[in-house]
Structure formats: structure tokens, C-alpha cells
Structure 1
Amino acid sequence: MKNLDDYFMAKIVQMILNKRTEEALLALSKYYEIRAPDIVVGTIKGKRKTVYAVYVHKESRIYCLNSDVYYNPFIIMHEFYHHLRMVAGIHRGSEKHANQYAREFILSYNKIIDQTIKSNPQKL
């Protein structure tokens, strides 16, 4: 998989936080040169009360339990990781790796925010 820079990763997180989840998924998919997954608020049979979100490979779709999940960068990035692995033809990938992928986006976002605050402390 390609390495992402902190600024790009932070921008993706910010897009999701600003309720531009579909746009964030399109930007990521363009970067990786893959088709973007569909994303909907809804559940699937057997997963209704057990998970916040799930990626269904056969549909190339991320299902989110509710709108809070739809705009949660960690959960969205976790599910995008599953999409990325499946589209790339690499085995499904573990939950541990999906969590690490999502965590890297959050850490990059926090790093960029911290750098911005340190470089502009008078704007606080």
C-alpha cells in the first residue's frame, strides 16, 4: 500500500468531521486508484446491534449504524481499510491492522492541529 503524508491524512479526517464523508472516501479512493465504496446509514441482518459499522465486500458498501458513526473518522477509516484490502486483492486484513490504519489518520490530524496551534498561538 502507498504511504500517505500527514497533511493528506489530516485533511481526510477533517472532511469527515465536517460531514463530507463521501468526499473523503472519493479522495482516498482516487489516491489509491480504486473505486470508492458506497456508504449508507443502515444495518444488515445479523449485525444490527453488534457493530457500529461494517464493510460488505459483495456490495462494496460501508453500512453505518447511525449518522454519528457516518461522521466518525476512526470508524470510517477502519472500514475503508477493509475495502482497500479487498479491492487490492490482499487477504481480508485483521481488525488490529484496520484499527492501526485508522489510528494513523487520527494521529496525523492531531499532529497537524498541534503544529498549527504552535505556529499561531496568538489566534487562540
Structure 2
Amino acid sequence: MVELDDIAKAKAVALILDKKTEQALEYLSKLYGIQTPEITVGTIKRKRRTVYAVYVVQEKKIYASNSEIFYNPFVILHEYYHHIRSKLDTHKGSEKHANMYAKSFIDSYVKIAQAQKD
């Protein structure tokens, strides 16, 4: 899998925070060389009240439970991790790994933002 640098990760987070979530997913997918997943606000049966978002492999789609979640970088990047793993076929990917992936993006964003303040 491609290893992204702090600048690329921070850019993806900034796009999501700027309410450009689709653009962030397109940007990341281009870097990874994979198809961009669809993303929508909505739910799926049996997951309506239990999760903030879900990635459905068969549909290649991320469902965010509401518009606030649609612009939440941690949740979106967590679900995007599941998309990457399904596309690169390395393994399904655990929730722990998806959380670590999303956290690395947030950490990079904070690091870049802090460096710009100093």
C-alpha cells in the first residue's frame, strides 16, 4: 500500500473539514490509484442506530448517518480505510487498523497546523 506523507494526509483532512468530502476521497483515491468510493448521507438496514457510518463493499459506497458525520474526518477516513483494503485485496482490515489509519491523518493535520502557527 502507498505510504502517504504528512502533507497529503493533512490536505485530505482539511478538505473534509472544508465540507469537500467527495473531493478528499477523489484526491486520496488518485494517490492510491484506485476507484473513488461513492459517499452519501443515509443508512442501511440493521445499522441504522448502531454506527456513524459504514462502508458497503458490494456497492463501493460509504454511508454517513447524517450530514455532521459526512464532514467528520476521523469517521470518513476510517470508512475509507475499509474501501482501500477491499480494493487492494490485502486483507479485510480490522476496526483497530481503520482507527489507526484515521488517527494518523488527524495527527498529521494537527502537526502541520501547529508547524504553521510556530
TM-score with structure 1 length normalisation?
Answer: 0.94
Report the equivalent of 2:112.
112
Alpha-carbon deviations, 1:43-94, whole Å to 9, x = none?
0000000000000000000000000000000000000000000011122110
Mark the runs of 5 or more structure 2 residues left unpaired by the alignment.
none
In 2, Cα distance between equivalents of 1:33 and 1:58: 19
Q: Map 1:29-44; keep pairs closer than 5 Å.
A: 29-44=29-44
Mark the runs of 5 or more structure 1 residues left unpaired by the alignment.
119-124
RMSD across aligned positions (CA):
0.4
TM-score with structure 2 length normalisation?
Answer: 0.99
SS in 2 for 1:59: coil
In 1, Cα distance between equivalents of 2:6 and 2:89: 26
In 1, Cα distance between equivalents of 2:89 and 2:113: 35
Instruction: Kindly provide the amino acid, as one letter, of the partner of residue 46 in structure 1.
Output: R
- Detail structure 1 runs of 4+ shifted over 4 Å in the superposition: none
SS in 2 for 1:36: coil
SS in 2 for 1:100: helix
- Over the matched positions of the two proteins, sequence identity in percent amounts to 57
Instruction: Kindly provide the amino acid, as one letter, of the partner of residue 74 in structure 2.
Output: F
